[in-house]
Structure 1
Amino acid sequence: MQRSPKTRAVGFTRILNFFTTLQTTGPKPTQSNLLKTSCVDQDNEVVPFNNRSLTETSNAYASLLRRCIERKSVSEIRRIQLHMTKSGFPHLSLGNKLIDAYLKCESIEDARKLFDEMPQRHIVTWNSMIASYIRHKRSQEALKLYQMMLPEGVLPDEFTFSSIFKVFSDLRLLPEGRKAHGLLVVSGLEVSNLFVGSALVDMYAKLGKLRDARLVVDRVMEKDVVLVTALIVGYTQHGKDGEALEVFRNLVKEGIKANEFTFASILIACGNLEELGKGKLIHGLIIKSGFESVVASQTSLLTMYSKCGLIDDSLKVFDRFVNANQVMWTAVIVGLVQNGREELALSIFRRMIRSSINPNSFTLSATLRACSSLAMFEQGKQIHGRVMKAGLDKDRFAGAALIDMYGKCGNIEMARSVFDALVEIDVVPVNSMIYSYAQSGYGHEALKLFNRMRDMGLEPNDATFVSVLAACSNAGLIEEGLNIFSSIRSNPTIDLSRDHYACVVDMLGRAGRLKEAEILINQVKKPDVVLWRTLLSACRIHGEVEMAKRVMNGALELEPGDEGTHVLLSNLYASTGNWTQVIKMKSTMREMRLKKNPAMTWVDVDRGVHTFMAGDWSHPRSGEIYEMLDSLIEKIKDLGYVPDTRFVLQDLDEKEKERSLYYHSEKLAITFALLSNSNKNTCIRIFKNLRVCGDCHTWIKFVSKVARREIIARDAKRFHHFRDGLCSCGDYW
């Protein structure tokens, strides 16, 4: 007759209590009188040892230990071990079972103490201890235990190697990993054991030794999906996506069925390569294999579609999944931000919060990037609050995103505050801080942080140099910038990119050193259209028409249909009053079907983004906006504002020229912000997709004085901080 769980539990407690009574009141038997002590029978009844053999006693203790494991009771295991010791039972004979019980109850310290007391330890016990250390992320202790094996005459087996290779990859110990590989080969286990082979491939792949990983795979005669997937994952993690696709093709040819991890990894490769056709074929294989509803496959599918620019297909995959987890929510938000759908990304983020899914550092970083792109300062501050609530304010990824967000919203003080609060600083948050300084024209502060990097134990990378050169360019620190550029050129370990050259061309061009800028471009082996366009912009600033024609030819040779080049030259002709050439340029653009990007400005008011274009009447409060704008213009005219009509077509009369300037998009956005919020302590932040025009720059300076408001304008190049009639750029932009 079977006993109920309750009855069995009562019996188990009676046994332990009986043991405790023996330990405290009974005699202390030795090995010689062991069999006169007590034990338990199969019905949980306490019986004397003199009715049992040593083997039966051992089995009884083993049975008790199994029940302790079921109950996850470390204290009861300790009581049993103590009873064994005090009763004189040779408890070390059950050492493996005791250690196994402790480990299964997550008491690794008790297990290790007993392990060290054992005079002889079976290989299974060594493996259990090593695997447990790895499971608890204590790789150093696992390594020390492995290093004790050979001196004690214990030869590692396949289970040892499959565990210890993970330790070598975690600790980045390639030489030790190679030695273990050599021992593995001597043991004859490498080819014959797929489990070990997969661990070895995984180690080499994680350490970036993909050639070694591939050689291991090639030596295995009968491959399985785990082995091949380990190689595919290694290739995708190190940017070898083409090789990953090749391995996958071979897997299919050999008739090995891919699993969910194989599909997830190969979809990542397709996304990175923007191989939409192959990605769709693999999508079909996923459906055929029955993995369409698996989370890993779904996440990789939506990531693949978003990386290929099919964000709507990515959203369809996401919407089909009923119970999306944190990883899926994050993947779709990241995809939206990467595809310029920031407003939708923020909307999805709000849905995620309402669904009670906690964001991680990657989710928050992506959402902060969305706020950065839209210059949504208030929403960015709210997400900062969530970062702090989640305890991620010290996280370097979230920290770098916060610095970037505050920097791109023009709040350098908050960006620096976040930077100073970071515990672990690497090159990413430093670059974000330098770039924030660069955009707002704080060149000296950017240089100071750049010069501190080596004291912080950090080496500048390509992005660092681009940021600091941009800072020098925006602040007019020409000689400092040229010295940095010279140091980069003389360093053989650094590959100069077109971005580095573009910063220096911009720096020289703004300073009027156009000839030097042109010579520098000609030193580039393959200059791109951006370099020529940068110099063309400088020609427009300084009215250098002849050089501009030469520069335009260089740009159009590379990209005949580049509308940016045509627009810049048209603006140059306009600035010099050559309206005949302006009309010809516009006619040429119409014939080539080139379109100038319309100027747009947006402003974040009351947690909503409001977008304006020149002469825009689509806003529901347009009547109030235009009325207030006309009033502002009258006030600032009294202070000396004179509309700059140089950039307006000459076939208009003077009044029409002025009115065409009055209703530029940035003027409408600022007026709406003033209309919506009269609090003089609130800063107005606007963002424009193109550069602020000269007339608007002057207009905003006057408005900041009349309205007594700080206005921060971020255009396509940099920030302008307007306060009390002055701009932070010092009119150098």
Structure 2
Amino acid sequence: MAELRTFDELGLLKPTLITVMKAKCDKVKWLEGIAMRCPKPKPKPQNSISSSSSSSSYIRMRGALRSLVPPVSKTPLLSQNPLSISPLREIPFRDTLAEAFKSLSKLISDGLRPVDEYSQILEICASSKALAQGQQIHAHVIKSVPDGDSSVFLNTKVVFMYGKCGRARCAEKVFAGMPQRTIFSWNAIIGAYTSNGDPLGSLQLYSKMRESGFSPDPCTFASALKACSALKDLRSGTEIHGLVIKFGYASVVFVVNSLVTMYAKCDDLDGARRLFDSMKDKEDIVTWNSIISGYSASGKGLEALDIFRNLRKTGLEMNTYTTVAALQACEDSKFQKLGSEIHAFVLKSSSDLDVYVANALISMYARCSRMSEALCVFNKLEDRDNISWNSVLSGSLQNGLYDEALQLFHDMQEVGHEPDLVSIVNVISACGRIGNLLLGKEAHAYAIRRGLDCDLLVGNTLTDMYAKCSSEKYMGRAFVRIPVKDKISWTTIIAGFAQNSCYRDAINIFREVLTCGMEVDELMIGSILLACSGLKSMNYVKEVHGFILKKVMIDLVLQNTLVDSYGECRNVNYAARTFRLIREKDTVSWTGMISLYVQNEFPNEAFSVFLEMMEEGVDADSITLISILSAAAALSVMKKGKEIHGYLIRKGFTLEGPIASSLVDMYGRCGDLKSSYR
């Protein structure tokens, strides 16, 4: 029982299970009982990335583990019976844990301590993520294998297994209890932290390993560099790069691949490219994938596709990741034609569309505003995952197909796919876009049932949705429910109050933000200027203007909003001075100033600004032309009005709607009723 208590302290297995099994069975029957509960392997979909058989995945795992663990010397106990290993050698090809446990029980019944067999079963548990079976093998290892080289070897395998099964804390407990450690033990725990979403912990362990006097090997560097990538820690990544060179691993392909990925994810694409170009032999497809995906993720589609073309010239066989990275580069509408060509190439290469490639195609077509093609790919996809549904959901949302997005959310549940966080955020956004409060409440209720209403992203989206549905009461409640608010939370609530004419509430919350010392950005200032404009408070606008100057916020959208705010307060002089201080004016800047002059009955000044706009070579939009037609009507100047009419015709504007109404009004007020009628 003492051994069971020790294992329970590790938090890995309930002692009741072992106690019951021990009461009913001896060691052999206990293992056979485990075998009976082992799940049968599920067949993997043929269009999945890991579409190869389980046996081949096991072989790949064995290859990876060779760099993780040292070879175990054959002890006399194992060498006495050479046949003791043979039953388990066939297990990877049968690939069932049940068979593995049956073979193991036979060896134990012969009085053996099968270290190799424990090792291989732990590998199978790791590759198939069979946590329960891995825990029970761990329990048996604790009871039957004494401290020594075999114990260090097997505990390393246990750490590796827990890491692969998503139990980094369990791996850490096992690692902490190891009296002796090897570099392979350190690699296992560092890799466990990296792969389970704790890159900071991974780097801390890496530092402890160095302090303990262990020299890193290529696997250590690969895991540490992956952690740097996740943290976007370029400084640590660069230091590790120096050590890679120092220890002589600069030519190890998978280490170089990790370096390229690290530089790319840390936004140092120049460093990634220099490293890529310096490689003499680029015969590993992962190397190409790393640099292509780095450029794609940074929005540099041209560079990504240029490397993709070079890759095709080499004749190197591409894989799913290559295609996905290239399609991500084609999400810029400038490259959509090439995206269609890649789609055709994929269809030509294989009749079955890989789910990962299909998801990338859906995203690419959606971002290029080609939802019909995106839906076509989606409808032909048999093995859809949540990413497939979320891609077509968000694509519908981006392209203004809000009702379709709501229908897709319904269909997703009908076919048995449980919506995740991203799905719920998309459907809440769709409810806000169509301003349907009832549907928004239903989506909110669904989020509550799933326990996601207090999630930061969901909370922010709910606040925005209720603001768009003009429900200040529910908007405030959703905001209060967010346990830890970020800058987006505060910006959303301020914008919500300002957009719904609750100007005082918006200003009071903004003061609270300033009191807390929270960082203020341009979006928040833009919303508070909207509130100041609504109150027609010149003092408030001046105060915010001073804050902008103090914080050196040089943002064109913010400057345009400031001009508009002064205009709303009927202070044309301040508006004009602010307008003149804008260095690079866009169409919105010019249109805002022209409209402001027209609204405040300064038609001559409006014409002066319009002529200046033409001289600068800035194209006027329909709002600009409607405003300047109003100025011509106010001045009753037929000549200028006709010039504007000619400009409209030359630029191909459709003379309908508001533009037609403004032309009729201008000709009528200038006394040309005949032209007005035409």
The interval holding the TM-score normalised by the smaller chain is: 0.7 to 0.9
**Residues 108 and 389 of structure 1: CA distance in aligned 2, closer, same or farther (over 3 Å):** closer
Structure 2 unaligned regions, length at least 5: 1-20, 32-75, 85-102, 126-131, 671-678
Matched with 1:232 is 292
Matched with 2:389 is 329
The answer to whether the 8 A contact 1:225-1:257 is kept is: yes
Counterpart residue identity of residue 391, structure 2: A
Matched with 2:611 is 553
The answer to whether the 8 A contact 1:372-1:405 is kept is: yes
Counterpart residue identity of residue 170, structure 1: A
Structure in which a larger fraction of residues adopt helix: 2
Could you tell me how far apart the structure 1 residues matched to 2:448 and 2:347 are?
41
Within-5 A mapping of 1:59-458: 60-63=114-117, 66=120, 72-85=133-146, 91-101=148-158, 103-104=160-161, 112=172, 115-116=175-176, 118=178, 120-191=180-251, 193-223=252-282, 224-272=284-332, 274-290=334-350, 293-456=353-516, 458=518
Alignment of 1:495 with 2:554, yes or no, is: yes
Deviation at 1:571, TM superposition (A): 4.9
Could you tell me how far apart the structure 2 residues matched to 1:390 and 1:437 are?
28
Counterpart residue identity of residue 306, structure 1: A
The answer to whether the 8 A contact 2:603-2:635 is kept is: no
- Percent identity over the alignment is 24
Matched with 1:508 is 566
**Residues 114 and 483 of structure 1: CA distance in aligned 2, closer, same or farther (over 3 Å):** closer
Greater mean alpha carbon deviation, residues 424-433 or residues 180-189: 424-433
Matched with 1:523 is 581
Could you tell me how far apart the structure 2 residues matched to 1:505 and 1:152 are?
62
Structure 1 unaligned regions, length at least 5: 1-8, 20-33, 50-56, 600-613, 615-645, 652-733
Deviation at 1:234, TM superposition (A): 2.3
Greater mean alpha carbon deviation, residues 417-426 or residues 448-457: 448-457
Deviation at 1:339, TM superposition (A): 2.2
**Residues 328 and 179 of structure 1: CA distance in aligned 2, closer, same or farther (over 3 Å):** same
Could you tell me how far apart the structure 2 residues matched to 1:255 and 1:62 are?
41
Deviation at 1:375, TM superposition (A): 1.9
Larger radius of gyration: 1
Q: How many residues align?
A: 565
Counterpart residue identity of residue 346, structure 2: I
Q: Deviations over 1:192-246 (max 9, x none)?
A: x111111222222222222222222223222222122222222233333333233
Deviation at 1:332, TM superposition (A): 1.9
Could you tell me how far apart the structure 1 residues matched to 2:635 and 2:234 are?
68
**Residues 377 and 46 of structure 1: CA distance in aligned 2, closer, same or farther (over 3 Å):** closer
Could you tell me how far apart the structure 2 residues matched to 1:40 and 1:13 are?
28
Counterpart residue identity of residue 161, structure 2: K
Deviation at 1:458, TM superposition (A): 3.4
Could you tell me how far apart the structure 2 residues matched to 1:375 and 1:431 are?
20
The answer to whether the 8 A contact 1:566-1:589 is kept is: no
Could you tell me how far apart the structure 2 residues matched to 1:205 and 1:561 are?
40
Structure in which a larger fraction of residues adopt strand: 1
Matched with 1:729 is none
Within-5 A mapping of 1:591-630: 591=649, 594-595=653-654, 598=657
Q: Deviations over 1:173-192 (max 9, x none)?
A: 4333322222211111122x
Alignment of 1:474 with 2:474, yes or no, is: no
The answer to whether the 8 A contact 1:244-1:269 is kept is: yes
Counterpart residue identity of residue 152, structure 2: G
CA RMSD of aligned residues (A): 3.9
Matched with 2:66 is none
Deviation at 1:295, TM superposition (A): 1.9
Deviation at 1:40, TM superposition (A): 13
The answer to whether the 8 A contact 1:536-1:548 is kept is: yes
Q: Deviations over 1:513-557 (max 9, x none)?
A: 224323432332332222232233334433333333334434555
The answer to whether the 8 A contact 2:160-2:192 is kept is: yes
Q: Deviations over 1:292-318 (max 9, x none)?
A: 712222222222222222232222222
Q: Deviations over 1:612-657 (max 9, x none)?
A: xx9xxxxxxxxxxxxxxxxxxxxxxxxxxxxxxx999899xxxxxx
Counterpart residue identity of residue 201, structure 1: V
Could you tell me how far apart the structure 2 residues matched to 1:84 and 1:310 are?
62
Deviation at 1:166, TM superposition (A): 1.6
Could you tell me how far apart the structure 2 residues matched to 1:151 and 1:221 are?
34
The answer to whether the 8 A contact 1:303-1:314 is kept is: yes
Q: Deviations over 1:542-599 (max 9, x none)?
A: 333333333443455555663222323445677x696989996996588455336758
Deviation at 1:321, TM superposition (A): 1.9
The answer to whether the 8 A contact 2:604-2:631 is kept is: no
Counterpart residue identity of residue 281, structure 1: E
Counterpart residue identity of residue 537, structure 1: S
The answer to whether the 8 A contact 1:564-1:596 is kept is: no
Secondary structure of the structure 1 residue equivalent to 2:331:
helix
The answer to whether the 8 A contact 2:155-2:178 is kept is: no
**Residues 288 and 346 of structure 1: CA distance in aligned 2, closer, same or farther (over 3 Å):** same
Matched with 2:56 is none
Deviation at 1:96, TM superposition (A): 0.6
Secondary structure of the structure 2 residue equivalent to 1:271:
coil
Q: Deviations over 1:397-441 (max 9, x none)?
A: 222222222112222222222122112322222222222122123
**Residues 476 and 75 of structure 1: CA distance in aligned 2, closer, same or farther (over 3 Å):** same
Q: 1:541 aligns with which of 599, 607, 632?
A: 599
Could you tell me how far apart the structure 1 residues matched to 2:383 and 2:640 are?
58
Alignment of 1:565 with 2:619, yes or no, is: no
Deviation at 1:66, TM superposition (A): 4.7
Q: Deviations over 1:229-264 (max 9, x none)?
A: 222222233333333233323323333333222222
The answer to whether the 8 A contact 1:434-1:467 is kept is: yes
Could you tell me how far apart the structure 2 residues matched to 1:275 and 1:47 are?
66
Matched with 2:89 is none
**Residues 594 and 417 of structure 1: CA distance in aligned 2, closer, same or farther (over 3 Å):** same
Could you tell me how far apart the structure 1 residues matched to 2:300 and 2:253 are?
24
Could you tell me how far apart the structure 1 residues matched to 2:228 and 2:245 are?
17
Greater mean alpha carbon deviation, residues 413-422 or residues 140-149: 140-149
The answer to whether the 8 A contact 2:463-2:475 is kept is: yes
**Residues 282 and 64 of structure 1: CA distance in aligned 2, closer, same or farther (over 3 Å):** closer
Counterpart residue identity of residue 315, structure 1: L
